[in-house]
Amino acid sequence: MRKDDGDGTASEASNGRASADLGKDPYWRNIKAWENVSEAEFMSHRWQVANAVERKGKLLNFLAAVLPANIPASRLDERLKSPTTREEFLLDVEEGMRVAPMAVRLTPHILSVADWSNPLDDPIRKQFVPLASTIVEDHPQLSLDSLHETDDSPVPGLVHRYPEKVLFLATSNCPVYCRFCTRSYAVGSNTESVLKTPMKPSKRRWETVFEHIKNTPAIQDVVVSGGDSYHLAADHLRLIGDRLLSIPHIKRFRFATKGLAVNPIRILDSRDGWVDAFVEISDKGRALGKQVAMHTHFNHPHECTWITELAARHLFERCVTVRNQTVLLRGVNDDVATMSTLIRKLADMNIQPYYVYQSDMVQGVEDLRTPLSTILELERQIRGTIAGFMTPSFIVDLPGGGGKRLANSFETYDQASGVSTWMAPGVTGEEVFRYYDPIGRRT
Ligand code: SF4
């Protein structure tokens, strides 16, 4: 049932109550071009979309306006051959984009939480804006489709690897493009180095997916992803939700979206229909005894602002189950203090810190990958410091299609060679999978 009857009154009143308890820092005004943007404008999803930064020219113009003339040296990585002036930095970005597997797209919210006075060390910049000077040699075992998803696709846009669950790639667009995306073979526009295999939203393609699911009674669980469910129109979200709910053997499904992390404004904008469509599906599922959840993707505490807290509270009040999947990234969240703070912030927003993933072995972003030893040490330090049900599982998604395993469940791990071996007896029998630490960063 909708809390909001169409004029937004109910949700605005509820948000007003919540915001009274929260500092309302107009953080977007740190960006000179937005210093006169009112809270009402910034809180408009339409404004967020109109002011998103995508494509090289727009990004370079944005950076030219926000970067200092002299770029401070990195405090975190002494090996960095870093640019020292704004002009050098812009050239570095241009060259980085020439070889990056992912295109660039950034929301005003996420651009506003970055510290552009220190762009070399900033955890937001590192995730979204490539720099040629930070690129390090790819391990020879890396590939664009490291999880071999296309090998397990019975119909285009459906990965069916495990008997009872499937991954439905409904779209290949996202509100932002992450440099380290596992699906860089398909997601976003073509780049100079990667010609994508796109999964455009298409009812005809989706029909073949629904048919496969309907005709395969063993399937109980669907992940609707892409791409990002935030880039599905509200009607498309309803269509997918209703079709899945109508299939008797589907017991549960989740929509994957980074939207809450990178554009929480949409959740609160009562003029936009996306969240109402989501809540409708979630409510219908509950009435049928089926769980519909949102899986989101926060990687750093700086991504959370008072608007994020309001958006998360709005979802909580409307009984939406939200879980988070963090990707472990070197120089972003690979230390105990940052990861612990992120987990606590998520827990405080009633978002379950569900997974922390070891970075997949994807080409072109080796500067962000950590050795396996990092995730093992993080778990060792963090487990026990917060309630068990708010402690994430620390996971490796096995390259080559072995599925997700607890990071500490390896068969062998030789830190000198950086090779760990894994088995998934319940899924692939005696097959052995290997994960390779990045070259030169094995401890
Ligand atoms: S939001 Fe998800 S699917 Fe989209 S680029 Fe980022 S990691 Fe990839």
The closest alpha carbon to 184, from 226, 241, 221, 154, belongs to 226
74 in a structural domain: yes
The closest alpha carbon to 220, from 263, 261, 249, 187, belongs to 249
| Residue bearing the CA closest to ligand 1, atom 3 | 227
Instruction: Inform me whether the pLDDT recorded for 16 exceeds 60.
Output: no
Q: Is the CB of 183 under 6 A from ligand 1?
A: yes
Mean per-residue pLDDT for 53-61? 95
- Alpha-carbon torsion angle 275, 277, 282, 284, nearest 10: 160
> Which among 180, 189, 228, 254 is the best mutation to test ligand 1's pocket, defined by most ligand atoms within 8 Å of the CB?
228
CA distances from 384 to 155, 172, 246, 380, 381 (A): 43, 38, 41, 9, 8
Cβ proximity of 149 and 155 under 8 Å: no
> Which among 167, 187, 199, 254 is the best mutation to test ligand 1's pocket, defined by most ligand atoms within 8 Å of the CB?
187
Instruction: Inform me whether the pLDDT recorded for 413 exceeds 80.
Output: yes
- Residue 399 pLDDT grade (very low, low, confident, very high; cuts 50, 70, 90): confident
- Residue 80 pLDDT grade (very low, low, confident, very high; cuts 50, 70, 90): low
Choose the most confident range, by mean pLDDT, from 23-32, 320-329, 399-408. 320-329
Q: In percent, how much of the chain has pLDDT > 90?
A: 77
Strand-pair partners of 397: 404
- Residue 316 pLDDT grade (very low, low, confident, very high; cuts 50, 70, 90): very high
* Ligand 1 center to 78 CA (angstroms): 29
Q: What is the pLDDT of residue 17?
A: 38
> Which among 105, 177, 294, 362 is the best mutation to test ligand 1's pocket, defined by most ligand atoms within 8 Å of the CB?
177
- Pick the more confident residue, 337 or 163: 337
Q: What is the pLDDT of residue 4?
A: 34
Q: In percent, how much of the chain has pLDDT > 70?
A: 93
Q: What is the pLDDT of residue 9?
A: 35
429 in a structural domain: no
Q: What is the pLDDT of residue 443?
A: 47
Q: Is the CB of 180 under 6 A from ligand 1?
A: no
* Ligand 1 center to 178 CA (angstroms): 5
Q: Is the CB of 228 under 6 A from ligand 1?
A: yes
Distance CA 100, CA 177 (A): 11
Q: Is the CB of 267 under 6 A from ligand 1?
A: no
pTM of the complete model: 0.92
Distance CA 152, CA 161 (A): 6
Q: Indicate the range of 73-82, 110-119, 132-141 predicted with least confidence.
A: 73-82
40 in a structural domain: yes
Q: Is the CB of 86 under 6 A from ligand 1?
A: no
126 in a structural domain: yes
Q: Indicate the range of 9-18, 38-47, 109-118, 330-339 predicted with least confidence.
A: 9-18
398 in a structural domain: no
Task: Please enumerate in sequence order all residues whose Cβ is within 8 A of that of 288, keeping only pairs 6 or more positions apart, or say none.
Answer: 245
Q: What is the pLDDT of residue 113?
A: 98
* Ligand 1 center to 228 CA (angstroms): 7
- Pick the more confident residue, 248 or 147: 248
Q: What is the pLDDT of residue 441?
A: 62
Q: What is the pLDDT of residue 10?
A: 36
Q: Is the CB of 174 under 6 A from ligand 1?
A: yes
Q: What is the pLDDT of residue 23?
A: 63
317 in a structural domain: no
Instruction: Inform me whether the pLDDT recorded for 364 exceeds 60.
Output: yes
Instruction: Inform me whether the pLDDT recorded for 2 exceeds 50.
Output: no
Q: What is the pLDDT of residue 200?
A: 84
Q: Quote the domain boundaries for residue 116.
A: 28-134
211 in a structural domain: no
* Ligand 1 center to 111 CA (angstroms): 16
The pLDDT tens digits for 167-196 are 999 999 999 999 999 888 888 888 888 888
Task: Please enumerate in sequence order all residues whose Cβ is within 8 A of that of 79, keeping only pairs 6 or more positions apart, or say none.
Answer: none
Task: Please enumerate in sequence order all residues whose Cβ is within 8 A of that of 380, keeping only pairs 6 or more positions apart, or say none.
Answer: none
Q: Is the CB of 258 under 6 A from ligand 1?
A: yes
Q: Is the CB of 187 under 6 A from ligand 1?
A: yes
* Ligand 1 center to 107 CA (angstroms): 13
Q: Token pair for residue 122?
A: 């900033």
- Pick the more confident residue, 219 or 428: 219
| Residue bearing the CA closest to ligand 1, atom 8 | 181
Number of domains the chain is built from: 1
154 in a structural domain: no
Residue type, 93: V
| Residue bearing the CA closest to ligand 1, atom 5 | 177
* Ligand 1 center to 382 CA (angstroms): 26
What is the bridge-based pairing of β-strands 105-106 and 53-54?
Answer: antiparallel
